[in-house]
Amino acid sequence: MKATVYKSTGSWYVLKGEDGQFYNARLKGKFKMDEITSTNPIAVGDHVAFELETDQQDAVIITDLFPRSNYVNRISPANRRMHHIIASNIDQSVLIATIKDPKTSTGFIDRFLVTCEAFHISAIILFNKADIYKDKERNLFEERKDAYEKIGYKVLLSSVNDDRGMDDVKNVLQDRITLISGHSGVGKSSLINKILGDSNIKTSEVSNWSGKGMHTTTFAEMYDLPFGGQIIDTPGMRELAIADIPRHELAHYFPEMRALMNECQYNNCMHINEPSCAIKEAVSEGIINEERYINYCTILDSIKENDWE
Ligand SMILES: Nc1nc2c(ncn2[C@@H]2O[C@H](COP(=O)(O)OP(=O)(O)O)[C@@H](O)[C@H]2O)c(=O)[nH]1
Ligand SMILES: [Mg+2]
Ligand SMILES: [Zn+2]
């Protein structure tokens, strides 16, 4: 039978079969891994085949992995040459951000956007906690919204407390598979609980066995939305694998730079100190947002430190 992986801890899995049932699963002993640089063979979102007959009473056996349309990964903390695949077969990614309590920096937002560009996943920025914004925060939100919409990103405003923007959020999520990220305190759990409502049976409740006592909250997990579609929650995951991007490619992942970089005098221009740089000119003319450019420089620096060239 075919199934989708809803949860993965690295040693055991929760699948949803084509029959709509949830199954605890393990990998076949000799599971062939295509990607030798990956620390995990199976990730949330994967389409797999499984067999029911098994000597283990409590689990089905995953026998095959179907090709992924895309995936997101991050560098393994234990081994920088290895990757951990966080999720696969994703339609879009939503970053939950806030203007206040806590403040999400544009640096963090831009790193998220660059990562989505690199993985070819469309990105949406959702500013939460609208109920606590006063004039100052509202103005800053409008400024951010204008800046990001101008370069092609969808920006939403929501409040879990007073339900503001909840219809927009549902519209964006409906019938799609969405990876949700955001740093802690922005209301990720609150928002997810609100969207899922009571109707949702959390997949984690299916498995009351070997997973016990594991720190399952650090693993990504997929949930069915009551109005169609799925979300993938990524608890404890701050950032994706930005260090994988070679320095000379970084500007490609800033859409407003990508549009202009052919006009730089040097075709290997890094847009830092080079003469006749179309990007720097656009920044000084206010065509490219200065903060975005500064964040580009900061990310570029961090790649240098990571020694990926
Ligand atoms: N004022 C306000 N507080 C919120 C909102 N959403 C979440 N919170 C609060 O923010 C804190 C962090 O929320 P939580 O969902 O745990 O954030 P997470 O760390 O991103 O999962 C909690 O005290 C929530 O009650 C909101 O829309 N408005
Ligand atoms: Mg949380
Ligand atoms: Zn340039």
189: Cα within 13 Å, side-chain hemisphere: 5
* Residue 170 falls inside a structural domain: yes
CA–CA separation, 269 and 176 (whole Å): 38
Last residue of a domain, one of 206, 233, 260: 233
User: Ligand 3 centre and the CA of 109: distance in Å?
Assistant: 23
Which residue, judged by its Cα, is nearest atom 2 of ligand 1? Answer: 129
pLDDT tens digits for range 209-227:
444 444 444 678 999 999 9
* Residue 238 falls inside a structural domain: no
Q: Look at residue 160 in the predicted model and tell me its pLDDT.
A: 97
* DSSP letter (8 states) at residue 100: S
User: Ligand 2 centre and the CA of 189: distance in Å?
Assistant: 4
User: Ligand 3 centre and the CA of 266: distance in Å?
Assistant: 7
Last residue of a domain, one of 233, 260, 284: 233
CA–CA separation, 48 and 219 (whole Å): 19
Residues in the chain where the model's pLDDT stays below 70: 32-37, 54-56, 77, 199-218, 236-243, 304-309
Counting ligand 1 atoms within 8 A of each CB, the residue from 131, 180, 190 with the most, and so the one to mutate, is: 190
117 lies in the same domain as 210: yes
Q: Which residues line ligand 1 (CB under 6 A)?
A: 128-129, 131-132, 159-161, 182, 184-190
The number of folded domains in the chain is 3
111 lies in the same domain as 227: yes
Q: Beta 154-157 vs 83-88: how paired, if at all?
A: unpaired
Ligand nearest to the CA of 181: 1
Which residue, judged by its Cα, is nearest atom 1 of ligand 1? Answer: 129
190 lies in the same domain as 119: yes
266 lies in the same domain as 201: no
CA nearest neighbour of 250 among 302, 183, 286: 302
Ligand nearest to the CA of 263: 3
* Residue 42 falls inside a structural domain: yes
Which residue, judged by its Cα, is nearest atom 17 of ligand 1? Answer: 187
* Residue 240 falls inside a structural domain: no
Last residue of a domain, one of 233, 257, 274: 233
107 lies in the same domain as 6: no
Beta strand segments in 154-277, E:
154-157, 177-181, 221-224, 230-233
* Residue 62 falls inside a structural domain: yes
66 lies in the same domain as 95: no
* Residue 148 falls inside a structural domain: yes
User: Ligand 3 centre and the CA of 104: distance in Å?
Assistant: 28
Which residue, judged by its Cα, is nearest atom 3 of ligand 1? Answer: 129
The mean pLDDT of the chain is 88
CA nearest neighbour of 209 among 95, 57, 75: 57
Q: Which domain holds residue 14?
A: 2-85
CA nearest neighbour of 51 among 41, 43, 42, 63: 63
Q: Look at residue 302 in the predicted model and tell me its pLDDT.
A: 87
* Residue 7 falls inside a structural domain: yes
Q: Look at residue 240 in the predicted model and tell me its pLDDT.
A: 58
209 lies in the same domain as 129: yes
Where residue 285 sits, what CATH number does that domain have?
1.10.40.50
Q: Look at residue 75 in the predicted model and tell me its pLDDT.
A: 75
145 lies in the same domain as 15: no
Ligand nearest to the CA of 186: 1
User: Ligand 2 centre and the CA of 33: distance in Å?
Assistant: 32
User: Ligand 2 centre and the CA of 190: distance in Å?
Assistant: 7
Which residue, judged by its Cα, is nearest atom 10 of ligand 1? Answer: 187
228 lies in the same domain as 255: no
Where residue 29 sits, what CATH number does that domain have?
2.40.50.140
pLDDT tens digits for range 178-213:
999 998 899 999 999 999 987 554 444 444 444 444
54 lies in the same domain as 135: no
102 lies in the same domain as 185: yes
189 lies in the same domain as 277: no
CA nearest neighbour of 62 among 84, 33, 20: 33
* Residue 239 falls inside a structural domain: no
User: Ligand 3 centre and the CA of 169: distance in Å?
Assistant: 37
